Each structure stands twice: as C-alpha cells, then as structure tokens.
C-alpha cells in the first residue's frame, strides 16, 4: 500500500537542521553602498532603486550563493573567451563615476580585440549574466525586454559613460545546462539619456530625504515577494 504520509527528504529533520546551520553562516550584510549603482536604475520600482542604494538588503544564504554562481560563470566565460582569442581591457577602464561620485558603475568587461564575429566591432563593451533555464529561454526568444530591461539599461549606461558606442557583446549563461547565448546590444542614446536623467532625479530626491513611490499598492505582487526590501517597504 502507498504511504502518503511519508515525508519527502526535504522535510526530514536532518535536512531542516542542516539548512538552518547553513543559514546561520550568512555574514551580516555589507552591501550598502554610498552611491547609486548603474545596475540598479533600470528597476521599475523607484523605491526599490532608492533602497538598493541606502538600505542593507536582506538576502537568504541561498540568494547570496546564486550571486556567487554568477561570479563563477562570469570568470569561466572570460577564461574561455581569452582562450578563444579575445583581449580584455584592464580593470581600470571599466569604472565610471558621475554626479560627484554618487552615480557609479563597473562594467564586466571591455573587449579591445578578438575574433571576427558578425556585427561585432572593437572596442566593445562586454556584459555577462548567468540565469536560470526559464529566464535563459525567455532571453533567447525575446532579448532584453520586460523583466530583463534592467540588464539593457545597465548595458547602455556603461556604453554611454565609458564612451564605447559600438554594439556591446552580451553573453548569457544557462545555469542549468551551461549553454551560452551571445548577442549584440546596439547603443541606444535616447534610452541611456532617459535613465541617466532618472539616476540624477533619484539622487536629488534621496538627498532631499524624499521617499520615492512604490511601483504597486499590492505588497503581495510577486515582484515585491522577490524584493530584498519588502519588510522595510511594507513594514
């Protein structure tokens, strides 16, 4: 007879205790930056962008490990690309700072030379993301639209501020299969200008102690459920 009361392995005490132990190893957050980062400004929620700047996000260990996974895959793809003949600029070419140091960014890479690829001209900005299979398929199908606009904005802001107007080479790794998707992101001056203006407006409001609006009135919106500032935002 089938035993429907049988616990799955994830619900067994040893697993629950093990994960509690791991969770306790998470160091206190040290993520508060004293500047607005280019990776934040594409969010549809102005308040989230402001919190990302000023408030320590609360991430479970699992989420921090997903960030680590991103760093790992970025380094791996970079190694593969160097072996394939791409030449990256040194780190000091990847930073920009603006608005008296309150708006800053750090690109993943700048390609100086490399193999011929259709449409790719050097120098070219290089950005890498590692995403789950569902997101990877969505980007493969539709590019950087919708949820991934934040990546698009980040890329065009780096192009504008680092003065690299050639199309950027965007590489996206599927975390499940390690498939890699490479495509070009043309520079969009109007988009870069509008988000640069947005960054300055956010800085001005924040310096004036103005709390920016939420993008929704629904704390149960799925995007709020994924936001590291939900507790702070909705009390």
Site residues for ligand SF4 per CB under 6 A: 45, 47-48, 51, 214-216, 223-224, 227, 229-230, 233
Query: Among residues 166 and 205, whose Cβ is nearest to ligand SF4?
Result: 205
Q: How far is the CB of 202 from ligand SF4 (least distance, A)?
A: 13
Sheet bearing 103-106, strands edge to edge: 36-37, 103-106, 95-98
Q: How big is the chain, counted in residues?
A: 235
Q: How far is the CB of 63 from ligand SF4 (least distance, A)?
A: 14
Question: How many other β-carbons are positioned within 10 Å of the β-carbon of residue 17?
Answer: 10
Query: Among residues 112 and 147, whose Cβ is nearest to ligand SF4?
Result: 147
Query: Among residues 107 and 228, whose Cβ is nearest to ligand SF4?
Result: 228
Q: How far is the CB of 40 from ligand SF4 (least distance, A)?
A: 11
Q: How far is the CB of 51 from ligand SF4 (least distance, A)?
A: 5
Query: Among residues 48 and 129, whose Cβ is nearest to ligand SF4?
Result: 48
Query: Among residues 148 and 158, whose Cβ is nearest to ligand SF4?
Result: 148
Exposure string for 59-85, b = 16+ CB within 10 A, e = fewer: eeeeeeeeeeebeebbeebbeebeeee
Closest to 184 (Cα-Cα) out of 133, 234, 119, 129: 119
Tell me the backbone φ, ψ of residue 122, rounded to 5 degrees: -105, 145
Q: How far is the CB of 215 from ligand SF4 (least distance, A)?
A: 6
> Which are the contacts of 201, defined by CB distance < 8 A and separation ≥ 6?
none
Closest to 27 (Cα-Cα) out of 51, 54, 52, 56: 56
């Amino acid at each position: 007879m089938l035993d429907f009361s049988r616990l799955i392995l994830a619900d067994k005490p040893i697993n629950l205790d093990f994960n509690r132990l791991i969770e306790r190893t998470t160091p206190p957050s040290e993520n508060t930056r004293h500047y607005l980062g280019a990776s934040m400004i594409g969010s549809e929620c102005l308040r989230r962008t402001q919190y990302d700047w000023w408030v320590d996000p609360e991430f479970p260990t699992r989420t921090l490990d997903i960030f680590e996974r991103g760093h790992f895959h970025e380094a791996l793809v970079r190694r593969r690309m160097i072996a394939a003949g791409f030449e990256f600029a040194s780190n000091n070419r990847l930073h920009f700072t603006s608005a008296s140091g309150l708006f800053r960014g750090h690109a993943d890479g700048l390609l100086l030379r490399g193999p011929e690829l259709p449409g790719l001209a050097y120098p070219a900005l290089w950005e890498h993301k590692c995403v789950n299979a569902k997101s990877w398929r969505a980007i493969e199908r539709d590019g950087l639209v919708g949820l991934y606009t934040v990546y698009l904005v980040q890329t065009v802001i780096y192009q504008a501020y680092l003065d690299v107007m050639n199309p950027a080479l965007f590489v996206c790794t599927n975390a499940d299969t390690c498939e890699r998707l490479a495509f070009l992101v043309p520079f969009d001056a109007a988009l870069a200008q509008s988000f640069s203006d947005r960054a300055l407006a956010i800085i001005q409001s924040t310096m004036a102690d103005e709390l920016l609006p939420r993008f929704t009135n629904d704390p149960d919106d799925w995007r709020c459920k994924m936001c590291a500032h939900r507790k702070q935002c909705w009390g």
